[in-house]
Chains A and B, each alone.
Chain A
């Protein structure tokens, strides 16, 4: 079946630094990638939608200059958390879709970000 590989699975960084999270579709072309964040015991909150080769569309309240999303190819999308602060600590997860999946969704395994 379709697989999305997400790395890193865990990362600890210092306040003020930037962290990049990658999601790769291994056996299909991810025309659209969704990025979510999840707080403990809460649901997935959609941050942004990115289509290959286009600028990402951010949900209301999400700072596009802080959460940089790149979707330069059909198999790779990245989320960079810039100038990270402790409040950015969260579980980040990507989800890809494509017509080859009949527009179902394949999720990455998630990244636990801790900013100290």
Chain B
């Protein structure tokens, strides 16, 4: 079956670093995506990992360990505008993109 787990909520302080974890068990694996979503809007692409290791893109980094079924999204130098929902999604064989329940991040001053 499919199971993608991430924390429901997290709170962090402006300027700090936050790590959002995601564990997955899916029928086949063909890459892992992280998206940012504000309420009532479409998800915005943040990162994509298909091989083990760290992908860095500005203030955002994403890590993948396929053997552990584990990924994390690292956000540095947090800004108030980073308050949003962060979605972990796994692409299965055949192209289906399955989402975790999302992590609601609140950035406080």
CA distance A36 to B87 in the complex (A): 14
Q: How large is the interface on A (under 10, 10 to 19, 20 to 34, 35 or more residues)?
A: 20 to 34
* A contact residues around B33 at 8 Å (CB): 105
B104 with A104: CB separation less than 8 A: no
B41 with A43: CB separation less than 8 A: no
* B contact residues around A43 at 8 Å (CB): 87, 99-102
Q: When A and B form their complex, what is the total count of cross-chain residue pairs whose Cβ atoms lie within 8 Å?
A: 41
Most buried by B among A42, A44, A103, A104: A44
A85 proximal to B (CB < 8 A): no
B100 with A110: CB separation less than 8 A: no
CA distance A112 to B42 in the complex (A): 11
CA distance A61 to B95 in the complex (A): 20
A95 proximal to B (CB < 8 A): yes
Which positions in A face B, CB cutoff 8 Å? 32, 34, 36, 41-46, 49, 91, 93, 95, 97, 103-105, 107-110, 112
Given A43-B87, A43-B100, A49-B95; 19 other pairs, CB 8 A cutoff: A34-B96, A36-B99, A42-B101, A43-B99, A43-B101, A43-B102, A45-B99, A46-B96, A91-B40, A97-B95, A103-B95, A104-B45, A105-B33, A105-B45, A105-B97, A107-B42, A107-B43, A109-B42, A110-B41
